[in-house]
Amino acid sequence: MAEAAGEAGIRALVAGWLAAERPGGDGDHGDHGGHGGHGEDDDDRPGGGWAVPPADGTVVVAAARRLAVDGLGRRGPRTAVPDGLRMIAEALVVDEHPSAARWTPLERAQAVEWVALLLHRFGEDGVAMLTADLSGGPGVGDPEP
């Protein structure tokens, strides 16, 4: 119970920061409680703040997986990702995708895992790589083809 309350508080704080960064942002972007930080009116919610084109969850998951695996090398072990990075990946990346409200719970969970792994391995450059990949351009530190 305390963990859920803590997560809701973190989500509200992050939502406020993101709203402050957006022109005309007021910090109120709907319900941020529950799984994935979205309420029941997700389909009416405007797109997120991540500057990438709309995409199916499977596309985002595949891109994040490919970048994470290519960046480590095919034989490297998949390292454990700290829980804090999962929360950051969910709140600051996955929840901000303009199509996230339409993804299945499984797609959202997989996106969170792979984005968290990108953050763990590459820091914010991992998000830049994913952003470039989803937007069709070269990314910072993008693994060689």
Residue 145 domain flag: no
Residue 34 domain flag: yes
Residue 111 domain flag: yes
Contacts of 22 (CB under 8 A, 6+ apart): 49
Nearest-angstrom CA–CA distance, 72 and 89: 19
Residue 143 domain flag: no
The mean per-residue pLDDT over the stretch 62-70 comes to: 91
Residue 144 domain flag: no
What is the per-residue DSSP string for the chain?
A: -HHHHHHHHHHHHHHHHHHHHSTT--S--S---SGGG--TTGGGSPP-SS-S----HHHHHHHHHHHHHHHH-TTS--PPPPHHHHHHIIIIIGGGSTTGGGS-HHHHHHHHHHHHHHHHHHTHHHHHHHHHHHHTS--TTPPP-
pLDDT score for 138: 63
Q: How many domains does the chain have?
A: 1
Residue 39 domain flag: yes
Higher pLDDT, 101 or 49: 101
Residue 107 domain flag: yes
> Per-residue confidence at 63, pLDDT binned at 50, 70, 90?
very high
The mean per-residue pLDDT over the stretch 93-97 comes to: 92
**143 has a pLDDT exceeding 80:** no
pLDDT score for 81: 86
Nearest-angstrom CA–CA distance, 25 and 14: 13
The lowest-confidence range among 1-5, 99-103, 107-111 is 1-5
> Per-residue confidence at 145, pLDDT binned at 50, 70, 90?
very low
pLDDT score for 50: 84
Residue 11 domain flag: yes
Domain around 27: 2-135
pLDDT tens digits for range 110-120: 999 999 999 99
With vertex at residue 90, the alpha carbon angle to CA 112 and CA 81, rounded to the nearest 5 degrees, is 55
